[in-house]
């Protein structure tokens, strides 16, 4: 990993700015030495000191110092003949010729050198900070600073795309794309010659190695051959996670998991090399779903925190776990509190004054922070000061950002029918119809199991919904035949909407893509997602005259205030209202028409 470092000014002090391509391993190393990330400067930074520079040298093989001091340069005073800041001034005593009108002159050599440096053209690749990253599938991945002309020209090349999530460019690994891209970037040999060749089908003979996990015997290490299909399969395991330090996947060391692993890879005829010791696989090593999700949420937050701030975050995590908070709450509160600590250099939150915190929040809102994100941040801070600081009488009254009052997109019943009519795939159509017909969230749709559908009672049992609550909703009569036909096609699945691999449910992202494709195909000008079907469900019940309290129960809202947002003015209500101007019955005539009548 190559790092570029330079001296920067940040938060009123000198820092070592660290610029590098995205890498989970590099990020982890930087956190371990106490570096923090600046969203403003878009770089990592640490205090400007010899100790921190030596830590960077120790942890990274290659360091590029931007604008380094020449090797033969001597330490010089700020000003004077030896100064690096001011060039030596030539006076009448130091040169043979006399100064013109008493004006000081620079040495001719210095002037000539400055002219040469000024004329030297900086390569475009250096200006753009061009960096090549590890390949992803059939793409080369590279990053560069934004340049209007270059970026626009690059994206016109067929096979080059901008990845918004990772902030990188992706280029197809073929010869034509390489030649065109290097011509635009004005650099030859930037992309390697490892052109993409279609991956052959797995024909067997590949070796999959399973080892004990030295750090935690509740897990086993699984080393997968470098083939896309094989790696995608293990990613679909419910409790699979990748370990960057060990370069392998981790699975619970339970007999059922190992058996499932062998069954899943049996069609590819993979050779299993089992290096586990006798008795290593234990049934009790299999964590339940709740335990796994909580551990995953906790680890995702803690891996971002350097040692200087880890103690504060662990204290908050312990308090939230003791309070039986959900994994989503732990993740959202943890990420918000991490942002607060990072922006304040991981100092003790108890040492910060009220005005400092308010100023910090105001600065975030000034930068365009959304109101919901601001609310979550305030909730996280309130939780920390009340529960972690253990001061029950303390009330941290922070100003809450005002929510933007936006009109939610609601589809009419005719528009909903049009959306469903564009879908031919039975699975896709059924998923959207259940979301609308029962008012379910997209996460509740994909995790729906056949055991949760109570045909005799004509109800759906929604388990562990938002806020860790169960509820009962209606099962629409319209989907009964579709459900029966669909189950006959997919027997043996626990989930109603099964995923790509056995035992996994359909992903939320896939359902959202189905909705987006249906909207585009239907020709509607309205934009929306699966959640807008839930909004439409509630709005149509309001229009039908259903009591708001029943709608609250069906949607699973804790507070009636949340449900009241659906009492907004609907289209049907607007159509029934007559403008007072229309009731005046004024006869409006065009003066031009009268003039024309007179002429005739």
Question: Which pLDDT score is estimated for 319?
Answer: 92
HEC readout, 13-58: EEEEEEECCCCHHHHHHHHHCCCEEECCCCEEEEECCHHHHHHHHH
Same domain, 433 and 549: yes
Question: Which pLDDT score is estimated for 183?
Answer: 92
- Determine, yes or no, domain membership for 382: yes
* Residue after which a domain boundary falls, among 287, 320, 351: 287
- Determine, yes or no, domain membership for 198: no
Catalytic residue among 45, 249, 346, 566: 566
- Determine, yes or no, domain membership for 117: no
Q: Residue 107: which H helix or E strand, with range? A: none
Is position 385 annotated as part of the catalytic site?
A: no
Same domain, 32 and 153: no
Is position 534 annotated as part of the catalytic site?
A: yes
Note the Cα 368 to chain centre separation in Å: 18
Same domain, 565 and 463: yes
Q: Dump strand ranges (E) for 54-104.
A: 62-65
Residues 6+ apart with CB under 8 A from 81: 88
Catalytic residue among 298, 441, 505, 535: 441
Whether the Cβ atoms of residue 442 and residue 452 lie closer than 8 Å to each other: no
Catalytic residue among 298, 428, 534, 540: 534
Same domain, 550 and 431: yes
The tokens for 151 are 């970026």
Same domain, 296 and 279: no
Q: What is the CATH number of the domain that holds 339?
A: 1.10.150.130
Catalytic residue among 466, 468, 471, 487: 466
DSSP tag of 61: S
- Determine, yes or no, domain membership for 72: no
Question: Which pLDDT score is estimated for 555?
Answer: 87
Same domain, 418 and 545: yes
- Determine, yes or no, domain membership for 199: no
Is position 540 annotated as part of the catalytic site?
A: no
Digitized pLDDT (tens) for each residue of the chain, 600 residues in all: 678 888 888 877 888 998 887 777 788 788 888 888 887 788 889 888 888 888 888 888 778 887 655 444 444 444 444 444 434 434 344 444 444 455 445 556 555 655 555 555 678 888 888 888 888 878 899 999 888 889 999 999 999 999 887 788 999 999 999 999 999 999 988 999 888 876 555 566 788 999 999 888 889 999 998 777 788 788 877 778 888 788 899 998 989 889 888 888 888 888 889 999 999 999 888 877 777 788 888 888 888 888 888 899 999 999 999 988 888 899 999 999 999 999 988 889 888 888 888 888 888 888 888 888 888 888 898 889 888 887 665 555 656 656 556 667 888 899 999 999 999 888 899 999 999 999 899 989 988 888 888 888 889 998 877 777 888 988 888 888 888 888 888 776 788 888 765 566 888 888 999 999 999 998 888 888 899 999 899 888 888 888 888 888 888 888 887 787 776 655 556 666 677 877 776 665 555 555 555 554
CA dist., res. 421 & res. 429, Å (int): 8
Pairing of strands 131-136, 219-223: unpaired
Q: What is the CATH number of the domain that holds 280?
A: 3.40.1170.30
Q: Which residues form the domain of 312?
A: 290-388
Same domain, 453 and 543: yes
- Angle subtended at Cα 566 by Cα 565 and Cα 570, rounded to the nearest 5 degrees: 125
Catalytic residue among 15, 178, 264, 557: 557
CA dist., res. 486 & res. 38, Å (int): 51
**How many structural domains comprise the chain?**
5
User: Tokens 């000198």 belong to which residue?
Assistant: 14
- Determine, yes or no, domain membership for 404: no
Same domain, 497 and 419: yes
Same domain, 12 and 136: no
Is position 531 annotated as part of the catalytic site?
A: yes
- Determine, yes or no, domain membership for 308: yes
Whether the Cβ atoms of residue 186 and residue 123 lie closer than 8 Å to each other: yes
* Residue after which a domain boundary falls, among 263, 287, 311: 287
Same domain, 477 and 337: no
Same domain, 313 and 423: no
Is position 180 annotated as part of the catalytic site?
A: no
Question: Which pLDDT score is estimated for 337?
Answer: 93
Please count the residues of the chain. 600
CA dist., res. 80 & res. 169, Å (int): 48
Is position 535 annotated as part of the catalytic site?
A: no
> Positive or negative, the Cα torsion across 8, 9, 13, 17?
negative
Same domain, 464 and 511: yes
**Of the candidates 421, 424, 466, 429, which has an alpha carbon nearest to the alpha carbon of residue 447?**
466
- Determine, yes or no, domain membership for 592: no
């Amino acid at each position: 990993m190559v790092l570029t470092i330079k001296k920067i000014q940040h938060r009123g002090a000198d820092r070592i700015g660290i610029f590098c391509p995205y890498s989970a391993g590099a990020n982890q190393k930087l956190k371990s030495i106490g570096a923090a990330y600046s969203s403003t400067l878009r770089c990592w930074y640490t205090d400007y000191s010899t100790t921190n520079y030596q830590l960077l040298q120790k942890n990274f093989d290659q360091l590029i110092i931007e604008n380094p001091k020449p090797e033969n340069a001597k330490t010089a005073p700020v000003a004077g003949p030896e100064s690096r800041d001011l060039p030596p001034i030539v006076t009448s005593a130091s040169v043979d010729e006399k100064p013109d009108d008493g004006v000081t002159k620079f040495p001719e050599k210095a002037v000539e050198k400055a002219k040469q440096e000024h004329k030297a053209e900086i390569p475009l690749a250096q200006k753009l900070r061009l960096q090549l990253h590890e390949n992803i599938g059939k793409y080369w991945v590279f990053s560069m600073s934004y340049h209007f002309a270059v970026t626009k020209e690059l994206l016109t090349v067929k096979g080059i795309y901008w990845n918004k999530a990772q902030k990188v460019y992706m280029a197809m690994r073929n010869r034509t794309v390489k030649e065109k891209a290097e011509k635009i970037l004005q650099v030859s040999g930037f992309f390697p010659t490892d052109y993409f060749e279609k991956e052959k089908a797995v024909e067997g003979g590949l070796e999959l190695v399973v080892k004990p996990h030295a750090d935690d015997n509740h897990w086993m290490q699984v080393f997968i051959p470098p083939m896309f299909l094989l790696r995608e399969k293990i990613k679909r395991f419910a409790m699979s996670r990748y370990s960057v330090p060990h370069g392998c996947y981790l699975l619970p060391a339970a007999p059922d998991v190992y058996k499932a692993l062998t069954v899943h890879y049996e069609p590819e005829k993979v050779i299993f090399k089992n290096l586990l010791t006798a008795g290593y696989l234990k049934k009790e090593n299999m964590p339940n779903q709740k335990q796994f999700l909580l551990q995953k949420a906790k680890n995702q937050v803690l891996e971002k925190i350097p040692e200087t701030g880890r103690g504060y975050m662990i204290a908050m995590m312990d308090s939230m776990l003791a309070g039986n908070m959900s994994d989503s709450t732990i993740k959202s509160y943890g990420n918000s509190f991490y942002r607060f600590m990072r922006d304040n250099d991981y100092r003790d939150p108890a040492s910060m004054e009220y005005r400092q915190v308010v100023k910090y929040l105001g600065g975030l809102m000034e930068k365009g922070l959304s109101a919901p994100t601001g609310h979550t941040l305030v909730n996280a801070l309130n939780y920390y000061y009340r529960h972690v600081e253990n001061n029950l009488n303390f009330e941290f009254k922070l100003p809450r950002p005002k929510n933007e009052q936006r009109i939610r997109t609601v589809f009419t019943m005719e528009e909903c029918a049009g959306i469903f009519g564009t879908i031919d795939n039975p699975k896709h159509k059924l998923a959207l119809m259940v979301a609308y017909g029962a008012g379910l969230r997209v996460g509740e749709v994909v995790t729906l199991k056949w055991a949760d559908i109570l045909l005799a009672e004509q109800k759906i049992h929604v388990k562990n919904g938002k806020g860790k609550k169960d509820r009962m909703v209606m099962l629409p009569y319209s989907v009964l035949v579709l459900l029966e036909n669909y189950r006959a096609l997919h027997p043996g699945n626990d989930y109603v909407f099964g995923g790509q691999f056995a035992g996994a449910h359909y992903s939320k992202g896939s359902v959202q893509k189905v909705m987006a494709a249906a909207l585009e195909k239907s020709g509607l000008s309205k934009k929306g997602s699966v959640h807008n079907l839930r909004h439409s469900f509630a709005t149509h019940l309001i229009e039908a005259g259903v009591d708001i309290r029943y709608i609250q129960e069906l949607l699973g809202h804790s507070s009636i205030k949340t449900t009241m947002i659906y009492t907004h003015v609907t289209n049907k209500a607007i159509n029934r209202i007559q403008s007072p101007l229309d009731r005046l019955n004024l006869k409006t005539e065009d003066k031009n028409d009268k003039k024309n009548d007179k002429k005739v």
